[in-house]
Structures are given as C-alpha cells and as structure tokens.
Structure 1
Amino acid sequence: MAAQLSSGTNPPASAPRSVGRSMLWAIASIGLGVVVILNSSGPSAGGVPQLPPVVAAPPTYGPPAPPVASLVLPRSAPKRLSIPQIGVDAPFTTLSIGASGRLDAPPANNSNLVGWFVGGVSPGERGAAIVAGHVDTKTGPAVFLQLSKLKAGSKVAITREDGMVASFVVDSVESFSKARFPNQRVYADTPSPQLRLITCGGSYDRKKKDYTENVVAFAHLDSAQHA
C-alpha cells in the first residue's frame, strides 16, 4: 500500500516561511485533497473528492487544543517518531508532490518508516504538520497499524534535526470515509503548532483495491526540550 494525496491543483513546492502562511495553506489544502493510503496489491481506483475553493470562507480548524501561543519552535526537519503507547519508534523520510500531482508515499519495502510532508510546516512550527505512514505492506503489518488505538491524552514525541524533542498530546483520533474526507479540517492552517498523523482504516474494498476510510490523529504541541 502507498500513501498519496490527490491533487486538482499543485500545492506549493515548499512551505511558506513567514507572513502569508495562512492564505497559502488555505490554497494548498485544495491541492492536497484526500489522503489515500493504498493497499499493497495495487493502486487506488478512480479519483477522490477535491476540496472546493475556500478563499472566501474562514478556515476550519481541528479539535480545540489548549493555548500554546508562547510555545512555537523554528523550522527543523523531524528525525524520529516515538509513540510508546502503540509501540512506534520509527525514523522519518521526506514526502513531496510527485509527477502525478499526488504526495508520494513512504517506501513500501520498509514497514517501520513514517513520512513527513516537507512542503508543509515541520513538527513544532506554527501550523499543522502532516505525517503519514503505512498500516500494512506486502510483507505484513506496518508502523501505523495501531494508530486508531490512540486516545485523547496519548503522547507523541518527535526528535528533530536541531536536537529538540517536540512532545505532542493527542486531542482526538477519528476515522473518515474517503468519499467524505474533511480536507479543510485536516489540512487547514492552525494558529498554534499541531500535528496530523494519517493512515488508512475501515474495511478493504477488493474491487477498488483500497481501504474505505482514513484514520487521523489530531494532536497539539505540549512541550519541547533538548534531547
């Protein structure tokens, strides 16, 4: 299986670094579309819904998180993801938009690897950092097999290249039909550092060669310290 983001328009090649991020991410969310985690036996069949224009609409954020306006980290690539509650201890690879206009997936031959969308914010920056991982591969269970088991209050730690460990607290874990995926809620800019962990879920549709749902863990930055 492989993780892909459908795209009607291409999102920016790199994340905005200063003023204007909110507007650009609203536009980018249109291009990102629905996260699709593909089954190991083949690519997803058919297209996926695209987010309608949102320029005139106010952004819709994820679940409410405690105010952390004073806790914002500078940009730094993530190195390792740790979620002790579900046994995750995995290195990162970068994900970018491929020639198809979709977000490339983490390599399917490595079951213990997570991908970070390098065109977005890094974990700990203001905004919603996007991390995707396989639920299974051709060889068996993969890194995000138990993602749906997380609960509000679960801890997520990300070690960054700058030596900081960004600690997140899960606000909610929800499953969404791929036919009605809430693009704006998942991808919209946020006023504080947040995290989205995404994989596939639901039943497997053998005809479409795809899972019927996506699992999304919404989390907020809770603390940061040197490793």
Structure 2
Amino acid sequence: MRERAWATRAAAILLLLVVAGCGQNAGTGSSAPPADSAAGAAPRPAARSAAPATTNVRARSTPVALDVPAIDVHTTGLVDLGLTPSGALDVPQDAATAGWFALSPVPGEVGPAVLAAHVDYKRVPGVFARLREMKVGDTAEVTRSDGATARFTAYRVERFSKSAFPTAEVYGNTDGPELRLVTCGGEFDEVSRHYRDNVVVFARLT
C-alpha cells in the first residue's frame, strides 16, 4: 500500500535530514535580505484533470510546474532535489528555479510532497521570495508530467529556526496527500552568509 511504502521511506529519510527543511544553505547565496516581491506571474494554465489521491504515479510522473496565486508564483521546469553530503535537502542552483525533493512523494500521493526554492539568490528575488506572506486557506497547484494537477490548500504557515527545525513535522508520514513549500527566512547572518530560519507552508490535497 502507498501509505505503508511512504512510512518506510520516511523513516529512512528522517535519519538523514538532521538539520533543516531546505538545509543550511537553502535560499542563501545572497548578501541581501529577502526581497519584498517576486517576478510577475505568467498566465495561469488551462484547467486539467484532478490528481488521483491514492494512485501510485511515481513510475510515470513527476511535478513539472507550480502555481501559487496568492504570492504571484508560476514556475515551470521544476528540478529534482536530493540530499547534500551532510544529509540536508539540496537546493536549486539559481533564483528562478524551484525543485522537488525526489525522495518525497509525488504531489497527489499519500505523504508530504516537498518543494523548495530560494527566497533570493545573488541579489535576485527567488521563486519563494514572498512565501512568508502565504496565509491559511491560500492554494497551490502542482502540475505533473502525466497532465494531472494536484491542488492543495494551506492549513499552516510557520517560521522555524534552522537550529531547531522540526524535521519529523515537515517530512514525517501523513494520513493523506500533503504538500510542503520550503524556503529560508528570518534574519540574514552576515558571518555565516545564511538565513537563520526556514519558512514552511503546510498544505493538504483539496
């Protein structure tokens, strides 16, 4: 069963993700604080079929686009993210790209699908420059390569210190399909060149 498969995989992942949701370096690489706005959104795509909540789609489908209307995000070309040698979540290589943690469920499967992007990078506003502005009730739509769209509704928006990141809450098993949007936030540490916190949006399939 998908629930049991993810529970087994999640247990192994939790042993590796020992620091923070998007790692010590996610959203960094810029000496500037978070930007106040992101680039304007492209036109939203036409309606597509809803994503099945219990079907195993991993073998034939991956997330390819993300729309978050409340913060003017429309991004395509999502990349696969893995783990760094230290066991933290890897990050995209530029400000304009978002990534899917490829060890997490495909959006629409049972468990928490994880998407991460920079808040800014080399003084360029990142995809998640305004993630901290999301509110409970805001929606996010993930388009998959099989043509289906998984629509999620935020039920929690939090900022966590990287030194006390709740790995199990973010990556742990869930009863149904969920989504996590992760970036950096809080104060920028001029010494370490990293942000001190992570912003995480928790959402459920609707």
TM range (shorter): 0.7 to 0.9
Q: Is 1:107 matched up with 2:96?
A: no
Change (3 A) 1:156 1:41: closer
Aligned equivalent of 1:158: 142
- Whether 1:195 and 2:189 are equivalent positions in the alignment is no
Cα distance in 1 for partners of 2:104, 2:173 equals: 10
Displacement of 1:29 after TM fit?
Answer: 1.1
Deviation per residue, 1:115-154 (Å, 9 max, x gap)? 0011221111000011100000114111000001010100
Q: Is the 8 A contact 2:2 2:56 kept in 1?
A: no
Q: Helix, strand or coil: the match of 1:26?
A: helix
**TM-score of the two chains, using structure 1 as the length reference:** 0.72
The 3-state SS of whatever aligns with 2:136 is: coil
Structure 2 counterpart of 1:29: 14
TM-score of the pair, normalised by structure 2: 0.79
| Mapping for residues 27-106 of structure 1, pairs under 5 Å | 27-33=12-18, 34-35=20-21, 36=23, 37-41=26-30, 71-75=53-57, 76-91=61-76, 92-99=78-85, 101-106=87-92
CA-based RMSD: 2.1
Change in CA separation of 1:101 and 1:213 when aligned onto 2, cut-off 3 Å: closer
Show structure 1 runs of 5+ residues with no match. 1-15, 43-69, 223-227
User: Could you say which residue in structure 2 is the equivalent of 1:178?
Assistant: 162
- 1:125 match: 109
Task: List gaps (5 residues or longer) in structure 2.
Answer: 32-51
Distance 1:180 1:186, change over 3 A: same
Structure 1 position 32, deviation (Å): 1.6
Q: What CA distance in whole angstroms lies between the structure 1 residues aligned with 2:2 and 2:165?
A: 27
Question: Is residue 193 of structure 2 the alignment partner of residue 209 of structure 1?
Answer: yes
Deviations 1:26-48 (CA, angstroms, capped at 9, x unpaired): 23112122132252159xxxxxx
